[in-house]
Amino acid sequence: MAQALAGVPLFSGLSRRQLRRLAEAGREVSVKEGSRIVGEGEPEDDLFVILEGEARVVDRAGRTLSRLLPGDFFGEISLLDGGARTATVLAETPMALLKIDRAGVARIVKEDPGVGLRMLEELARRLRRMERPLAG
């Protein structure tokens, strides 16, 4: 499981030990094709990493915003701020996911602040990329 996390941009730069601890904090879950994994506005705070399968992110009108593949992740915003989900994610195929809860990540970050710093750096890079078209 730690090897799967190594390919996730959110965890880039983490050591094998740190990845192993994150993997141990999570649990693998299976999702059937067509299932709603998370719903916009729901008060959940788990992070999901796609191990197998495909999903799509949709808005309230059901329009597809993006597609997610193995190695992609979602739920990072709710994981970090504890707020409601910002989008709905639907399983397009049967899926295997690594589910990591907020309490598990908080425990790891408390014990090893470097994990939190690496995650924040990656989220800042993502935010910067998203803002470039706006500044254009």
Per-residue pLDDT of the chain (136 residues; tens, 9 = 90+): 788 788 777 787 889 999 999 899 999 999 999 999 999 988 888 999 999 999 999 988 889 999 999 988 888 878 778 888 889 999 999 999 999 989 998 999 999 999 989 888 888 887 788 777 666 5
DSSP state of 93: S
Work out the number of other CB atoms within 10 angstroms of the CB of residue 13.
13
Which residue's entry shows tokens 């690496």?
A: 118
> What pLDDT score was predicted for residue 9?
78
Please give the Cα distance from 55 to 3 (Å, whole number).
21
Which distant-in-sequence residues (6+ apart) come within 8 Å of 24 by Cβ? Answer: none
- At residue 57, the 3 state secondary structure works out as strand
Q: What is the pTM of this model?
A: 0.83
